[in-house]
Amino acid sequence: MTDTILVINAGSSSIKFHLYDIEGPQELSPRLGGQLDGIGTRRPRLRVRNAAGETLVEREIAPGHAADVPNAQEVVGTWLSGHLGGAPLAIGHRVVHGGPDLAEPVLVDDALLARLEALSPLAPLHQPNNLAPIRVIRERRPEIPQVACFDTAFHRTHSDVADRYAVPERLYEQGVRRYGFHGLSYEYIAQRLKKALPDIAMGRIVAAHLGSGVSACAIHQGRSVDSTMGFTALEGLPMGTRPGRLDAGAVLWMMEQGMGHDEIEHLLYYECGLKGLSGISNDMRELLASDTPAARRALAYFAWRVAEGMMGLGCAMNGIDAIVFTAGVGENSPQIRQAIADHWGWLGVELDPERNARHGPRISTEQSRIGVYVVRTNEELIIAQHTLALVRPQ
């Protein structure tokens, strides 16, 4: 065994991985990171860079070697085995759904895998792919401990009221409740604020994770108290290919029109959101570069509903002391941050154009009644920390 922690984040079309050196009892430093993307396409590609950003490998992979996530994991594992000089101490995984009871990272065993597999219908876009590499590694290297870290766990601090829908108790007992997602990202934000912005860290914060998936979270005293996502990762704010808020009656109407379960599921997970509104793409960069009315409408809708949803979280904390943007779009798009903030003028929120263009950390003016910040998330570091703490407790 070497003194490293490997982190794997597997999606439907990519596997991201990061390797951390263990420097002390609970201290980690990044050694390398990479991803194999284009899984299932004709041009999958493996990219790996070291901690300094230098390219270690960048090459195309034969399509048959990355036809699905298990095959792609074999490619990643083979490359890592040839470059690490030994197995990692443990491997940590992002798992989107942990259900109502799993509020902490846990060591993987067969019983846990079966339990998590049963949750796949609640996260069909993510859960099966999260679990695929775990199975491959258990088959090939069963002696290496694996740790599952859940996107839902950070939200298990919600109150009983915040976790409920207005449905009969029997449905709540069967698991129909608001779970919340992107918790690993929000956990990192809460941790990072304590070091980088201690003056606001324990205040009333609304953080927005704006990527392909989109949500916002109310964080008070470093704990999640509410989130825009709920029973599945479909709810809440509009996303790249998911609709966010949608009248449940619309789904009933689809069924009445003869649409089946699989057809509706595919529509809601792959054809809605920015892609559906624009008819062009779910890529924010493409939409920003487009001058079509549909693209303009999609961006306007996105900014409006995200702004609305974020401010609504203030009700969970009786106010808002700071606003944080994070994830791919939240960290890198001044235009989208400005478009969202334009809906908050009535609250006295004002962005500074120069600060916003530099991506912060503070992007609001000194006169703004609520401070607005950009904080880069690092879900992989949180997973590595949890994994190390579990396999090598202090």
Catalytic annotation, residues: 151
What is the 3 state secondary structure string of 17-79? EEEEEEEECCEEEEEEEEEEECCCCCCCEEEEEECCCCEEEEEECCHHHHCCHHHHHHHHHHH
Q: CA 276 to CA 282: how far, in whole Å?
A: 8
Helical ranges in 211-283 per DSSP H: 248-256, 261-266, 273-278
224 sits in which H/E element = strand 223-227
Q: What is the dihedral of CA 49, 95, 229, 306, to 10 degrees?
A: 0
Yes or no: say if 372 and 326 are a contact pair by the CB < 8 Å rule.
Answer: no
The encoded tokens of residue 126 equal 């993510």
How are the residues of the chain apportioned to helix, strand and coil, as percentages rounded to the nearest 5?
40, 20, 35
* CA dihedral (329, 334, 339, 344) positive or negative: positive
Q: What type of residue sits at position 225? A: V
Of the CA atoms within 13 Å of residue 24, those in its CB half-sphere come to 2
- Specify whether the CB–CB gap between 280 and 294 falls below 8 A: yes
Residue 236 gets the label, from left (phi > 0), alpha (psi -120 to 50) or beta, of: left
